[in-house]
Amino acid sequence: MTAEITTEKARIGAPSIAGFTEEGEGLVSAKVDHSHNHGLTVMSSRAERLTSFDVADFALPTGREEEWRFSPVRGLANLLSDAATDGEAAAFSVEAPEGYVRGSLAQGAAPRGTVLTPADRAAVVASANTDEALHVVIPAEAEPAEPVRILVHGGGAGRRSNAHYVLEAGANSRSVVILEHTGAADHNGNLEVIVGEGAKLTVISVQLWEDDAKHLAQHDAQVGKDAVYKHIAVSLGGSIVRLNSNVRFAGEGAEAELLGLYFADAGQHLEHRSFVDHNVANCKSNVLYKGALQGKNAHTVWVGDVLIQKQALGTDSYEKNQNLVLTDGCRADSVPNLEIETGLIEGAGHASSTGRFDDEHLFYLMARGIPEEVARRLVVRGFLNEIIQQIKVPALEERLTEAVERELAATEN
């Protein structure tokens, strides 16, 4: 069997837009017949990226580094400094059935550190400055009726907050965990997830920050044999949000789905990076991030890395990013990277498109009697709904739909 790589560059209806990048693939496909390297410099393998618990291993980024080149690093000085949490910079609370919260884990106390090793300056300073990590365990076979909630509420813009959460889903458990961010802070948060054999876990990280919050995050998961892990990042608030969602596998037959939804307004920087490390054979992954942009200097970034290691025979993976641009003056960067070290896979595909809701779309819908504001909502709601409906927690879906509506109302003003 040979590998099949599909590339779609189908734009959403509109012609290409000046000022937008839709970057080529950094695709290493030495053992794959169908190569489509677009003459870009082939970057070093994602597998070689430095990870470490030692702050000294990560210099302060300048913005020229591959992993920081899209980020407004000048605005992140406070978050990237090796600094302790500023008093009660962020209050957190946990809503979970009795016994799920197991107290806290010191640095080096397993399972802390078994899955998440910091992969950048932000994660390492968060790790180093969090002495006690919250430890939540969903017992084996448990199927809690309500989602487990970890609520983080920032106590004020510019106040430094470090966090590290360790989440374990026991074998064959079925659960949803919501990590919710509100208020404002300079919040640096790591999440370490261990999905046990046969477990089914959905983690939803919701960024409903106030306008002046900044948030950097590394969410790493290891998915056990026959387990199903779904991570959904929803970023609507905050001035800068950069969330890296990474996954690897601990056994065959596992599935991972990394999803994201973001809506950037004027001046907002919302960045999502995903990395699926197919280190084990016969696992499946699907990555889909969808974003809308509006207003001057609204900036979104998606960088999706998929690595299919030599031993990961029978891998089936797909990743896609779609952006919908609603006004002039926005910038959407979208970079899929696919590295394939074996040809003996089921499939590996990637796609990226950035389209704009332009006058011709509007004309078409209005020519069918639909008023302008209804037309605009129809398009954006439909576009983002694909992710929202994956949440499957009705109350949260409703809240997020309302939040999207508020963003849309802002477009019209």
Partner 1 sequence: MSTLEIKDLHVSIDTEQGTKEILKGVSLTIRTGETHAIMGPNGSGKSTLASTISGHPRYNVTGGTITLDGEDVLAMSVDERARAGLFLAMQYPVEVPGVTMTNFLRTAKTAIDGQAPALRTWTKDVKAAMQQLRIDADFAQRNVNEGFSGGEKKRVEILQLELFKPKFAVLDETDSGLDVDALKIVSEGVNRAHAEGNMGTMLITHYTRILRYIKPEFVHVFVDGQIVEEGGPELADRLEEEGYDRYAKGAGAASIAAAAAQA
The answer to whether residue 234 forms part of the interface with partner 1 (CB under 8 A) is no
How close are the terminal C-alpha atoms of the chain, in Å?
55
The answer to whether residue 403 forms part of the interface with partner 1 (CB under 8 A) is no
Determine the Cα–Cα distance for residues 234 and 178; give it in Å rounded to an integer. Answer: 11
The answer to whether residue 366 forms part of the interface with partner 1 (CB under 8 A) is yes
CB 281 within 8 A of CB 249: no
Residue 355 beta carbon to partner 1: minimum distance, rounded to whole angstroms: 5
Three-class DSSP category at 405 = helix
- Considering only 364, 395, 402, 405, the residue that binds partner 1 (CB under 8 A) is 364
- Considering only 136, 221, 365, 400, the residue that binds partner 1 (CB under 8 A) is 365
- Considering only 30, 60, 109, 374, the residue that binds partner 1 (CB under 8 A) is 374
- Considering only 126, 136, 324, 330, the residue that binds partner 1 (CB under 8 A) is 324
Measured at the alpha carbon of residue 220, what is the angle toward residues 212 and 247, in degrees to the nearest 5? 125
User: Which region, judged by CB under 8 A, interacts with partner 1, from 15-23, 254-262, 269-277, 358-366?
Assistant: 358-366
Determine the Cα–Cα distance for residues 117 and 50; give it in Å rounded to an integer. Answer: 9
12 vs 94, beta carbon nearer partner 1: 12
Determine the Cα–Cα distance for residues 9 and 16; give it in Å rounded to an integer. Answer: 11
The answer to whether residue 382 forms part of the interface with partner 1 (CB under 8 A) is yes
Tokens of 300: 């979104």
Residue 375 beta carbon to partner 1: minimum distance, rounded to whole angstroms: 8
Residue 368 beta carbon to partner 1: minimum distance, rounded to whole angstroms: 4
Q: 39: exposed, middle or buried (C-beta count within 10 Å: 0-12, 13-18, 19+)?
A: exposed
In DSSP notation, 92-112 reads EEEE--TT-EEEEE-TT-TTT
Using alpha carbons, select from 312, 386, 390, 322 the residue that is nearest to residue 347. Answer: 312
The answer to whether residue 359 forms part of the interface with partner 1 (CB under 8 A) is yes
The answer to whether residue 12 forms part of the interface with partner 1 (CB under 8 A) is yes
The 10 Å Cβ neighbour count of residue 320 is 19
Give the β-pairing of 299-308 and 5-8: unpaired
Determine the Cα–Cα distance for residues 250 and 143; give it in Å rounded to an integer. Answer: 22
Three-state secondary structure of 140-187? CCCCCCCCEEEEEEEEEEEEEEEEEEEEEECCCCEEEEEEEEEEEEEE
Determine the Cα–Cα distance for residues 144 and 141; give it in Å rounded to an integer. Answer: 10
CB 404 within 8 A of CB 381: yes
The answer to whether residue 371 forms part of the interface with partner 1 (CB under 8 A) is yes
281 vs 391, beta carbon nearer partner 1: 391
Q: For 6, which DSSP code?
A: E
- Considering only 194, 380, 388, 404, the residue that binds partner 1 (CB under 8 A) is 380
267 vs 363, beta carbon nearer partner 1: 363
The answer to whether residue 368 forms part of the interface with partner 1 (CB under 8 A) is yes
The answer to whether residue 370 forms part of the interface with partner 1 (CB under 8 A) is yes
Residue 231 beta carbon to partner 1: minimum distance, rounded to whole angstroms: 23
- Considering only 42, 91, 378, 395, the residue that binds partner 1 (CB under 8 A) is 378
Q: Over the Cα atoms of the chain, what is R_g?
A: 21
- Considering only 2, 6, 13, 57, the residue that binds partner 1 (CB under 8 A) is 13
User: Which region, judged by CB under 8 A, interacts with partner 1, from 64-72, 166-174, 201-209, 369-377?
Assistant: 369-377
179 vs 384, beta carbon nearer partner 1: 384
User: Which region, judged by CB under 8 A, interacts with partner 1, from 57-65, 79-87, 205-213, 377-385?
Assistant: 377-385
Residue 379 beta carbon to partner 1: minimum distance, rounded to whole angstroms: 5
Site mask for partner 1 (CB under 8 A), range 264-293, x = bound: ------------------------------
The 10 Å Cβ neighbour count of residue 54 is 10
User: Which residues, 168 to 207, sit near partner 1 by CB under 8 A?
Assistant: none
- Considering only 18, 103, 367, 413, the residue that binds partner 1 (CB under 8 A) is 367
- Considering only 169, 233, 288, 379, the residue that binds partner 1 (CB under 8 A) is 379
List interacting residues with partner 1 (CB under 8 A): 10, 12-13, 322, 324, 355, 357, 359-361, 363-372, 374, 378-385
